[in-house]
């Protein structure tokens, strides 16, 4: 059974291919088009499909469009029609246009694949796809499942239980009770885009949540069902929402200074979110019990909240996929379609983030020559890159299959020395061209991680950079470039079995520098993470990197 999974309804457009229950490939459309998030979340574009990502997935799996038995789209229009009310939109006519655009998905799939699919085009409920993207790859035989994001069809949070091959929905919180939308509005209030929740999370470490703690109780209320959001207080239903301005004063201009006031708002939002998630999980534990938990939805990208959950709930083993946001629903929708087949076995794989394109040395050399550069072949790229990092250089590291999800995990990464106090400023200002407060993450050898960080309960998802972990006493001063203002670090564990070349690089750095970790940030500069050798070379030149390693091929600033 060959299944193509697609996410395209809102943003983070992506595709995945599942063959006989095994995830073979998955990729976000933005990596090919170089447009962040692939497209805007508009009411008139859910039929705009991730055609380049689809083409890659089919090619990688060795399939043609006629080989695909089922296309799974991660949104169910029938649920939207049944539960959403048009008056929830800030402007008349939006819902009608959205539904009309959803009705065009069938024709868009037919055009893309060259044939109609009829009933073989399966519309999978959005939150069910999120749940599947976490539960099936987790390997758990049973688990509590929590999905929290902006919105699916109608729901904003979903409590579910995985038992064997089945996912059972327990209950949901519907619009307007959306933590995801609250973060979007707060991001805009703080002068960012609606997509910049990660920036708000970083800014929160500099603030005092007590300053606006009481004000957030008027927005986000806790209760037996988990939480509720006051849509009028936030301004969800306004064309130009100013609800937060009334509570916290004038919003920050996009190019304005960051004042303590802004930091306090971010900190209070983070604290309120932690409390809301704990409230949901208390209910989920009461209803389901067990020690295993799967998290998905955009809110599951909040590393601070994830770490708090790991330390303050009865769940001892937590799995979060590398792409818990909407892109991951491409995998989830395909896995749901697989499980719907009579006699289907439990899906296999999908836990690895390395599901994207990879390139041969011939392709890499062709890109180097096309750029007019002279390549140098390394005897040991991992050792040479480690030495360059230890000497204070900023290195591009491009190898193997590209990561699926928003975080670079050692295959499309920029690497630097975590020991240097000035590394963060150099990267933020000279290379990444972003705000000074933005933190960087450490990639640490798994066998030494507990010596440097208080990881809390262990999770496979520590390999995906999804938990903010406190630093062990006496360690922070040795690695200042990867320690955030609150003393935590967004740790990525690197295991030899999962990524042997990256593990070798960090091991060489450990021998040279006495520190078992390197600074790792996504290989990009105000654009999506690089995908191809040509993208890597362009960023190498434009961002002024000191070196670029692609497989065993090296370029330096003198090339």
For the purposes of burial, counting CB atoms within 10 Å of the CB of 312, is it exposed (0-12), middle (13-18) or buried (19 or more)? middle
Helices and strands (H, E) in the chain, number of each type: 20, 21
Q: How far is CA 224 from CA 169, 227, 364, in A?
A: 18, 8, 56
* Residue 348 bridge partners (DSSP): 22
What are the E-state strand segments in 332-387? 376-377
**Rounded distance between C-alpha atoms, residue 241 and residue 147, angstroms:** 26
Residue 444 contacts residue 509 (beta carbons within 8 Å): no
**Rounded distance between C-alpha atoms, residue 163 and residue 346, angstroms:** 11
Residue in the structure block whose two tokens are 């209030």: 189
- Which residue in 11, 37, 264, 325 is the catalytic one? 11
**Rounded distance between C-alpha atoms, residue 55 and residue 51, angstroms:** 6
**Rounded distance between C-alpha atoms, residue 385 and residue 82, angstroms:** 56
Query: Is 127 a known active-site residue?
Result: no
Q: Report the C-alpha dihedral over residues 150, 306, 485, 397, rounded to 10 degrees.
A: -90
**Rounded distance between C-alpha atoms, residue 368 and residue 538, angstroms:** 10
What DSSP designation does 471 have? B
HSE toward the beta carbon, residue 141, CA cutoff 13 A: 0
Please identify every residue annotated as catalytic: 11
């Amino acid at each position: 059974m060959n299944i193509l999974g697609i996410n395209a309804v809102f943003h983070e457009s992506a595709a995945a291919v599942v063959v006989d229950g095994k995830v073979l490939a998955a990729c976000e459309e933005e990596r090919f088009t170089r447009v962040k998030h692939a497209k805007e979340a508009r009411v008139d574009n859910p039929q705009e499909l991730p055609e380049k990502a689809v083409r890659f997935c089919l090619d990688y799996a060795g399939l043609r469009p006629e080989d695909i038995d089922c296309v799974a789209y991660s949104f169910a229009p029938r649920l939207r029609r049944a539960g959403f009310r048009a008056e929830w939109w800030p402007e008349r006519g939006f819902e009608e246009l959205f539904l009309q655009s959803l009705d065009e998905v069938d024709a868009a799939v037919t055009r893309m694949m060259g044939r109609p699919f009829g009933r073989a085009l399966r519309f999978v409920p959005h939150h069910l796809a999120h749940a599947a993207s976490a539960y099936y790859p987790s390997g758990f035989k049973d688990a509590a499942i929590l999905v929290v994001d902006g919105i699916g069809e109608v729901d904003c949070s979903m409590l579910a239980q995985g038992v064997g091959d089945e996912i059972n929905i327990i209950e949901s919180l519907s619009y307007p009770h959306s933590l995801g939308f609250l973060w979007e509005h707060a991001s805009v209030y703080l002068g960012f885009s609606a997509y910049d929740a990660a920036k708000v999370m970083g800014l929160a470490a500099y603030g005092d949540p007590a300053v606006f703690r009481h004000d957030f109780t008027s927005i986000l209320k806790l209760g037996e069902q988990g939480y509720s959001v006051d849509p009028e207080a936030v301004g969800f239903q306004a064309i130009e929402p100013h609800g937060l301005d009334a509570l916290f004063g004038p919003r920050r201009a996009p190019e304005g200074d960051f004042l303590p006031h802004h930091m306090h708002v971010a900190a209070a939002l983070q604290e309120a979110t932690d409390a809301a998630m704990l409230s949901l999980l208390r209910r989920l534990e009461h209803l389901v019990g067990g020690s295993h938990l799967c998290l998905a939805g955009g809110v599951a990208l909040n590393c601070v909240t994830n770490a708090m959950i790991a330390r303050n709930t009865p769940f001892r083993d937590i799995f979060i996929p590398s792409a818990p946001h909407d892109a991951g629903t491409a995998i989830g929708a395909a896995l749901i379609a697989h499980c719907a087949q009579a006699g289907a076995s439990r899906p296999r794989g999908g836990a690895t983030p390395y599901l994207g394109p990879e390139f041969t040395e011939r392709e890499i050399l062709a890109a180097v020559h096309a750029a007019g550069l002279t390549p140098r072949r390394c005897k040991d790229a991992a050792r040479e890159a480690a030495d360059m990092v230890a000497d204070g250089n900023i290195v591009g590291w491009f190898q193997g299959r590209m990561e699926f999800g928003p975080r670079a995990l050692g295959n499309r990464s920029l690497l630097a020395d975590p020991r240097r106090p000035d590394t963060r400023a150099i990267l933020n200002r000279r290379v990444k061209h972003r705000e000074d407060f933005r933190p960087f993450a450490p990639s640490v050898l798994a066998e030494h991680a507990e010596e440097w960080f208080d990881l809390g309960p262990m999770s496979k998802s520590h390999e995906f950079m999804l938990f903010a972990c406190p630093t062990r006493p006496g360690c922070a001063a040795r690695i200042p470039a990867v320690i955030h203002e609150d003393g935590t670090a967004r740790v990525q564990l690197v295991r030899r079995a999962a990524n042997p070349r990256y593990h070798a690089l960090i091991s060489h750095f450990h021998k040279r520098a006495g520190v078992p970790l390197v600074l790792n940030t996504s290989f990009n500069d105000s654009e999506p993470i690089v995908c191809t050798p040509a993208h890597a070379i362009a960023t190498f030149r434009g961002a002024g990197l000191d070196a670029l390693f692609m497989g065993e091929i090296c370029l330096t600033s003198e090339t």
